[in-house]
Amino acid sequence: MTTHSTEQDTMPDSHIDGEFDEELNTSAKNTVNLTHQVTDDEVGTRLDKLASMVFEDFSRVQLQGFIEGGALTVNGAAQKPKYRVKLSDEIRLCAVIEDHSEDLPENIDIDVIYEDDDVVVINKPAGMVVHPGAGNRTGTLVNALLYHYPDSAHLPRAGLVHRIDKETTGLLVVARTKTAQMNLTEQLKDKSVYRHYQCICQGVPSDILRHSVIDLPIARHPTQRTKMAVRDGGRNAVTHIMKATSIHERYSLLDVRLETGRTHQIRVHLSHLGFALVGDPVYGAPIKSGLDKTHLEALKSFNRQALHAYKLGFIHPTTGEQMAFNAPLPDDMQTLIEVLSED
């Protein structure tokens, strides 16, 4: 037997949700309380499997996060996902989820690459925040989605499945139904979604390609809480460098594939290895000395991380068709490459 209740919770909290890249803070959240008492025919079932059966409004990825984070308990105590439930065990889920009742629709232009009844693929410009948060309540992609797709108001995060940083450009897939959102979230978990980025960084191809697979754990920086860092005990993070092309004797254009989706993953991994992205205000490195005036001015004036999500692929959540999309490099990155490539 499963029971539930919801109430408004205006206290800020962290949100546990599987593959979403960053913690999300909102001014209004719903506290969901769900309980289920184990019946005879459920005895011996793994906790994670039973949770997905009885708490149907949440994806397996979300429930896994709730179990690991202690939001989903058995008889008031945290258990491992593989715990085998016993007769009359009380499974309780007390989780904080977002409420978009205070996020306002705004008539903001968005570059829609593709849309149907289930999904939308968007090419995000630099400077656009994906999700409302402290200091960014308006002007975000979510505000735009709520205007252009009013039905998205009932979906968590207006249908967002993943995010890219404010100053990073490129492709995002957004779900238009709860079923599609859950399906795409599962695809992120099992790596059916593939994401390729292009970036301009310090370093030459011969040095960079020695690290074609970067497998280094990422966690919050120990003293600077707005930053991430490579740290022992952090979450598994894997980045693949697919290609490196020289555009200058000291700078390269990379094609990078994400296997995992950690906060600032590409920026952190490359900076840690000495190949910081051009323009990165958080993880960047000083501009190399000895450059001619034209190259130096071009690098100094590039005031965002030179990172673009140019390729996105996933399995359509309804048709099962393999979908693939590309977005060309934005003008500012193309111009920088042209200037750096000049002798």
Return all residues near 90 (Cβ < 8 A) that are at least 6 apart. Answer: 35, 36, 37, 38, 74, 75, 76
Residues for the chain: how many in total?
343
Cα distances (angstroms) measured from residue 250 to each of 292, 341, 343? 12, 11, 13
Of the residues 40, 165, 232, 280, only one is catalytic, namely 165
Q: How far apart are CA 122 and CA 298, in angstroms?
A: 28
Q: Are 20 and 162 in contact (CB under 8 A)?
A: yes
What Rg, from alpha-carbon coordinates, does the chain have?
A: 22
What is the C-alpha separation between 190 and 185, in angstroms, rounded?
9
How far is residue 136's CA from residue 342's CA, in Å, rounded to a whole number?
39
Active site residue 165: yes
Q: What are phi and psi of 245, to 5 degrees?
A: -120, 130
Across the strands, what pairs with 251? 202, 248
**Gap between the Cα atoms of 312 and 114, Å rounded:** 12
Cα(79)–Cα(72) distance, integer angstroms: 8
Q: Does residue 288 sit in helix, strand or coil?
A: coil
Question: Between the CA of residue 139 and those of 22, 131, 149, 330, what are the distances in Å?
Answer: 19, 9, 15, 21
Question: Catalytic residues, which ones?
Answer: 165
